[in-house]
């Protein structure tokens, strides 16, 4: 385990819990809300939020690494504008 991975875990848990408790929890029916110190449906929904945030972090990091590793695209050649406009040089 690298420190970077631990930071990703921490960020995923904090953001996932923030999404659950600030956005979802107030709108969920009572049966789906998490009760402290209980294993219930709300805990499962909260866990799913954290997992989804973690997956988004990992996919974003993978995409950023691919973009950084790929060579830059060569500059596009400019066409002679006189040819395209019908004018003679």
Q: Which of 17, 27, 21, 28 is nearest to 53 (CA)?
A: 17
By CB atoms closer than 10 A (0-12, 13-18, 19+), residue 20 is: buried
For residue 6, what pLDDT band results from cuts at 50, 70 and 90?
very high
For residue 8, what pLDDT band results from cuts at 50, 70 and 90?
very high
Sorted by where each begins, the domain ranges of the chain are 3-69
What pLDDT score was predicted for residue 49?
Answer: 97
């Amino acid at each position: 385990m690298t420190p970077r991975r631990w930071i990703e875990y921490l960020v995923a848990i904090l953001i996932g819990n923030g999404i659950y408790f600030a956005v979802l929890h107030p709108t969920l029916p009572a049966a789906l809300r998490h009760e402290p110190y209980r294993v219930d449906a709300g805990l499962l929904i909260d866990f799913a939020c954290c997992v989804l945030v973690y997956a988004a972090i990992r996919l974003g990091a993978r995409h950023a690494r691919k973009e950084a590793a790929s060579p830059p695209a060569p500059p596009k050649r400019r066409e002679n504008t006189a040819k395209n406009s019908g004018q003679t040089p």
